[in-house]
């Protein structure tokens, strides 16, 4: 099996993954998976598609991820892994699609507007 290359995005994070046959080793930005995502919640989030399709421990995954925060990066990696699993076997699509792992989350941070403190928050009103 050749190397499968896919990408995933979430907020401002972009993850590019290279999935190849192996023993389940995940490397993120040349660092160990557990070092890069120290939180248990984020580790589970990244491994969800592999657990769901019973493919954990079968593939080595090399990840390049940049931009955004740690949660957005984890979700970007999850989307990329899900896409790669669908390329390997189209049957995986039937299990991943209902869970929403193949959908790019379109929510982005709303821009700050002039005359406001944030996007929608107004400045404190002073009567006098």
Per residue in 30-51, pLDDT tens? 999 899 999 999 999 999 999 9
Q: What is the pLDDT of residue 108?
A: 94
Residue 123 forms part of a structural domain: no
| pLDDT reading at 1 higher than 80 | no
What average pLDDT does the segment 56-85 reach? 92
The pLDDT of residue 83: 92
How large a percentage of the chain has pLDDT more than 90?
Answer: 80
| 33 phi/psi in degrees, rounded to 5 | -55, -45
Residue 104 CA: distances (Å) to CA of 82, 87, 98, 113, 116: 11, 17, 14, 26, 30
pLDDT band at 2 (very low <50, low <70, confident <90, very high): confident
- 125 found inside a domain: no
In a domain, 100, yes or no: no
Kindly state whether residue 88 falls inside one of the protein's structural domains: yes
d(CA 24, CA 74): 17
Q: Domain range holding 27?
A: 2-95
Q: Does any domain span residue 102? A: no
Q: Any idea what the CATH number is for the domain that residue 32 is in?
A: 3.30.230.10
pLDDT on residue 57: 87
Tokens of 82: 């899900």
Domain assignment present for residue 7? The answer is yes
For residue 44, the model assigns a pLDDT of 93
Q: How many domains does the chain have?
A: 1
**Mean of all residue pLDDT scores within the chain:** 92
Q: Is residue 118 part of a domain?
A: no
Q: Are 65 and 45 in contact (CB under 8 A)?
A: no
pLDDT over threshold 90, residue 24: no
Q: How far apart are the first and last CA of the chain?
A: 73
Q: Is residue 16 part of a domain?
A: yes
């Amino acid at each position: 099996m050749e190397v499968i290359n896919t990408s995933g995005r979430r907020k401002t994070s972009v993850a590019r993954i290279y999935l190849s046959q192996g023993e389940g080793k995940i490397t993120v930005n040349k660092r160990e998976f557990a070092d890069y995502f120290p939180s248990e919640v984020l580790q589970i989030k990244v491994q969800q598609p592999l657990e769901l399709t019973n493919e954990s421990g079968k593939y080595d995954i090399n990840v390049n991820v940049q931009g955004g925060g740690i949660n957005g990066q984890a979700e970007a990696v999850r989307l990329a892994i899900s896409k790669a699993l669908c390329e390997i076997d189209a049957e995986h699509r039937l299990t991943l699609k209902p869970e929403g792992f193949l959908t790019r989350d379109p929510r982005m941070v709303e821009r700050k507007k002039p005359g406001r403190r944030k996007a929608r928050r107004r400045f404190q009103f002073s009567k006098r």
